[in-house]
Amino acid sequence: MASSLAVILPTCNRFALLKRTLRSLEQQTYKDFTVYVSDDLSTDETKDHDASSFPSLKIHWIRRTEKFSGIAEHFSALYAEATEDWIALAHDDEVYAPEWLETLVGMMLQPTPDGTPIVMAQVGTVVIDARRGEPQYYKRADQIPDGLYTGNDLKRLCLFDGRHFATNGYLATREAARKAGAFNPDYEQFDFEWLMRLAQLGRTACSTRLLHTYCMHPQNTVGSARYLRRYFEQKNPSVMELEWLETVEGVGDAEKASRRQQLADQVVRSRFRSYLKVVATGNRDLECATAAILQSDKKMSDRQRRLIAAMKLPTVFFLAGIFLRVLTKLVALRRHPQLYPLNDALEKQNLSWV
């Protein structure tokens, strides 16, 4: 068994959410770990608390003196600072089931057929709308099936089988994390890109067990204007997959060509859907900025250009906002009985989704 385990937890101005995350870590059945809470110059209640606020946890509370340029730099610094053999990444807007760490440790200790080291273990995640406490989407069927995979295996599953590789709730070895290097802020999903680099260094153990949640809320990147701005400024997921396609092995040229065209089309569709979300936010400055980007895209269809022009009309702008709000509510009504075991475990510990 590894001699030590660190849970790194970056945070900034989310003390209400951070408390909930730390409460779930207090309930872990695996006890031999240290939590690195890294505060990126918070101005809320976070600045008034330290490790003494959570006496049942072994916490190394880090007060930053200079603000990071972004979350990618924050992640990189934490991975470099942790001295333990294994490193688990936690987020301050997530809740972890009691057996989360114990399950990850067990996955890391399993033997591999050819003796290749396991560099990472990952379990399933559920996305929750924190405003309603409802599951937004449920990923067990879409996640990587239980098993051990090479980095090339994971690329093929994501590219050609539509499998989802979660960027949270994983455990990695410190040695592999440092070999993978720093997170690259040029990618909108920089953590996804980094994990795929990490996966090339050995085997990845995957499980579809639902052992943690990711919560959608106004401060995170899901559905926010900040996410949309970053989407256009950085390499988005489809662009990243186009890059992977050039390196993946064991796939014929015809299949690669077909997938390349699908991804290229997806870039345009995703940009247009994101533009509609921008319209619904009412942020006119951001609307103009994204419209300029979209209209400069040579692959955009004439129909999409006409719709963008129509969106400048106040009436259409208003109707688009109503449509998206209704659509969001309909999606939020979807319930999944498979979530009950995780939900029951959280309720027994007085941990809510919100």
Angle at 28 between CA 25 and CA 32, to 5 degrees: 95
pLDDT the model gives residue 64 = 93
- 17 — alpha (psi -120 to 50), left (phi > 0) or beta? alpha
Helices (H) and strands (E) in the chain, counts: 13, 10
Q: Which two tokens stand for residue 180?
A: 């993978």
d(CA 258, CA 93): 38
pLDDT in tens, the chain (354 residues): 445 999 999 999 999 889 989 999 999 999 999 999 999 999 999 999 999 999 999 999 999 999 999 899 999 999 999 999 999 999 998 889 999 999 999 999 999 999 999 999 999 888 776 555 555 555 566 788 999 999 999 999 988 888 888 888 899 999 999 999 999 998 888 999 999 999 999 999 999 888 888 877 666 644 455 555 565 556 777 778 888 888 899 999 999 999 888 887 776 566 555 555 555 555 545 445 455 544 544 444 555 555 556 555 555 556 666 676 666 555 544 544 444 555 555 555 554 443
CB 110 within 8 A of CB 308: no
Q: Based on C-alpha coordinates, what's the Rg of the chain?
A: 21
Helix (H, G, I), strand (E, B) or coil at 170: strand
How would CATH label the architecture of 5-221+337-348?
Answer: Alpha-Beta Complex (3.90)
Give all strands (DSSP E) within the chain, no chain letters: 5-11, 34-39, 59-63, 86-89, 94-96, 118-129, 134-138, 147-149, 170-173, 203-216
CB 66 within 8 A of CB 94: no
Q: Which two tokens stand for residue 223?
A: 């559905």
**In the beta sheet, which residues pair with residue 35?**
7, 59
Q: Where are the domains of the chain?
A: 5-221+337-348, 225-312
Give the contacts of 91 (CB within 8 A, at least 6 positions apart): 9, 10, 21, 168, 214
Angle at 142 between CA 136 and CA 146, to 5 degrees: 125
Give the contacts of 176 (CB within 8 A, at least 6 positions apart): 117, 119, 120, 198, 201, 202
Give the contacts of 266 (CB within 8 A, at least 6 positions apart): 238
d(CA 212, CA 94): 7
Amino acid at the residue 291:
A
d(CA 70, CA 202): 28
d(CA 82, CA 6): 7
For 24-34, letters b (16+ CB in 10 Å) and e give bbebbeeeebb
- Provide the angle, in degrees to the nearest 10, between the axes of the packed helices 190-199 and 71-81: 40
pLDDT the model gives residue 2 = 43
